[in-house]
Structure 1
């Protein structure tokens, strides 16, 4: 059966980082993929590690080649890929658990040819978020090119690994990496692809951890003459790309921005400072789960696992809409309340203290995502009750919450037969009845 996504990872001397990379792929919430590992003649144990993964998981396919470079390795994988979409990783990086599902969902919902996403830059134990396009709408080729022109040398546009490509476009135009280029080869492939694509979508959710290491031209044994010729060739291609994408009048208006690429190119190629702008400690940017707790066997461990899975899905909603996880979680709980209730009851249902509930609900009200309308009651003993109301501005967030719940159910029932699912739901209803009677 054809996989939906072909995930491609070139591997060279990655023995120390490959497990982290591959494990992040195999542990995706989205499971309909094939993983193509291309060992580029690694002299260390990378090749054997790739083979071990292939023996353990039928989705992993391994190819070995004599050392020919990252472009040749990617091309070999492209020749064998079978997925509807293409996703790329570098072997010293890793992805978030919802990376593939987020990319595929965006591609299908918006019927677009290219999805581009935010990412994390990692330097030592520090991490910072990186993105550029803030418009949550489908972009035309010209609109996407205009965004790219504003930051011509930005990794966000130039690299492969924060994007999802349609394989039919790649194959119809036989797009491949140029093995003769070892600088901006990703960008050259992207420019060719963009020329053939028509619909673009930017996902404002970081899905990738890019480990910033020394890898400049100086470390690749290139002489100065070859480096200059290569840069000029890439610039000329970039120049011709915009002449093709933009009409003559628009091109003349933007010529200075196009030329800026020659000055700015490779501006992101150096090793960043110890403290990245806006950096946090690695591990605090997204919630972490203790493996020991996940393996526990008790009623409380079950509740913990359920809560953490839901938090992982809600976290994506929070990142996308610039909300805290606590705010999104409260919205989800309040979405379930369809009757007037006092604030103490609402706080209790959400598992919050009254003070915390007051702070979070006020934040949501100030962001036009929530209203708590007071309901007059003839019975003074009932106290003040409110009705939960969601303004029109909350529609997008609420739709994402519904989707998260659907993803939760899909993950929880993965591998269940229809009969097993019916039996589970029947037993669960009996269990809930017992708990309700006891309470």
Structure 2
């Protein structure tokens, strides 16, 4: 049986220092029938030049140069021009195990599904590696997969570490100009599937960069997290109203994440008050849900003691975590 063509979408913007490692991992995949779509999103370093150099070395590589439009725009641009039956997205500052595509594709074919998921490792700048993988695999209903994603139970919202039937993108795009674009998109792809295959081995390597968009100092764009999460919540509840607890947990989690990022920012007092009010107003449902992670339960209780106490405790937590 002829192998399906798989399109690898690589949005690229000023990642010259990381691109070689990423491309080496993609070019040397054990699954060979791939097209590698490099979308240079208006890079100002030598990333654009490197893209053209790679194109000359491997006829599976297609390069597009476009004006800067952001990560979502670059992903959409590449997906629309993909020829493969299946699509996987990789961030060009990350890299993948050599059997990443083969692993995800085997899950698709074994269970006859439209989407598969693998796990990832987190690589920190100090050399520390956090491993999320383990052995095993299973097939989940779309609803169960969504529930676990909402609880952040192994399954996450990231665009990467997943393989998609290209038809899932027929009416779905990543929201241009928004941060946390995957939160607004991954659930829409899941909703189109009857079942989703989940593999628990880590095959994707995620690099934590201090200069990344998400990790930079707080700015109003980071409130996109709340907008994206609430839109996801509304759409999921329309179809699965019994997932209310899971949806609420995700919405509260988004508030905590934003609250933590803005704790040293000035000029956002009203936003901070609204976020704290939301968390406190929904604390009972969260505390009574036995699926709520212990960290979130503790965070709620600390916040009830007052924001200054919570702020100090979270700072200590981050120091211990690092």
- In the alignment, the residues of structure 2 paired with residue 267 and residue 99 of structure 1 have an alpha-carbon distance, to the nearest angstrom, of 35
- In the alignment, the residues of structure 2 paired with residue 79 and residue 203 of structure 1 have an alpha-carbon distance, to the nearest angstrom, of 27
Deviation at 1:145, TM superposition (A): 1.4
- In the alignment, the residues of structure 1 paired with residue 9 and residue 236 of structure 2 have an alpha-carbon distance, to the nearest angstrom, of 29
Unaligned runs of 5+ in 2: 263-316
> Structure 1 residues 273, 261: CA separation in 2 closer, same or farther (over 3 Å shift)?
closer
1:143 is matched with: 144
What does 1:275-286 align with in structure 2 at a 5 Å threshold? none
Q: Describe the SS at the equivalent of 1:10.
A: strand
Match of residue 244, structure 1, among 224, 231, 238: 238
- In the alignment, the residues of structure 2 paired with residue 200 and residue 266 of structure 1 have an alpha-carbon distance, to the nearest angstrom, of 30
Larger radius of gyration: 1
1:196 is matched with: 192
Bigger RCO (CA 8 Å, 6+ sep): 2
CA contact (8 A) 1:17 1:92 kept: yes
2:227 is matched with: 233
> Structure 1 residues 227, 15: CA separation in 2 closer, same or farther (over 3 Å shift)?
closer
2:18 is matched with: 17
> Structure 1 residues 267, 195: CA separation in 2 closer, same or farther (over 3 Å shift)?
farther
Match of residue 257, structure 1, among 249, 252, 276: 249
- In the alignment, the residues of structure 2 paired with residue 167 and residue 131 of structure 1 have an alpha-carbon distance, to the nearest angstrom, of 26
What does 1:208-227 align with in structure 2 at a 5 Å threshold? 208-214=204-210, 215-217=212-214, 219=216, 223-224=219-220, 226-227=221-222
TM-score of the two chains, using structure 2 as the length reference: 0.74
Q: Per-residue CA shift, 1:158-192, capped at 9, x if unaligned? A: 11111111101212xx21111131x2101211021
- In the alignment, the residues of structure 2 paired with residue 2 and residue 81 of structure 1 have an alpha-carbon distance, to the nearest angstrom, of 16
TM-score of the two chains, using structure 1 as the length reference: 0.55
- In the alignment, the residues of structure 2 paired with residue 65 and residue 75 of structure 1 have an alpha-carbon distance, to the nearest angstrom, of 12
Deviation at 1:78, TM superposition (A): 0.8
> Structure 1 residues 268, 129: CA separation in 2 closer, same or farther (over 3 Å shift)?
farther
Match of residue 177, structure 1, among 174, 178, 199: 174
What does 1:26-37 align with in structure 2 at a 5 Å threshold? 26-37=27-38
- In the alignment, the residues of structure 2 paired with residue 268 and residue 115 of structure 1 have an alpha-carbon distance, to the nearest angstrom, of 32
> Structure 1 residues 189, 252: CA separation in 2 closer, same or farther (over 3 Å shift)?
closer
2:301 is matched with: none
> Structure 1 residues 275, 43: CA separation in 2 closer, same or farther (over 3 Å shift)?
farther
- In the alignment, the residues of structure 1 paired with residue 259 and residue 219 of structure 2 have an alpha-carbon distance, to the nearest angstrom, of 19
Corresponding residue pairs, total: 265
> Structure 1 residues 27, 194: CA separation in 2 closer, same or farther (over 3 Å shift)?
same
- In the alignment, the residues of structure 2 paired with residue 176 and residue 127 of structure 1 have an alpha-carbon distance, to the nearest angstrom, of 32
Deviation at 1:208, TM superposition (A): 0.8
> Structure 1 residues 91, 276: CA separation in 2 closer, same or farther (over 3 Å shift)?
farther
Deviation at 1:121, TM superposition (A): 0.5
- In the alignment, the residues of structure 1 paired with residue 83 and residue 260 of structure 2 have an alpha-carbon distance, to the nearest angstrom, of 33
Q: Per-residue CA shift, 1:101-140, capped at 9, x if unaligned? A: 00000111011122111111001322121259x8732111
- In the alignment, the residues of structure 2 paired with residue 254 and residue 204 of structure 1 have an alpha-carbon distance, to the nearest angstrom, of 22
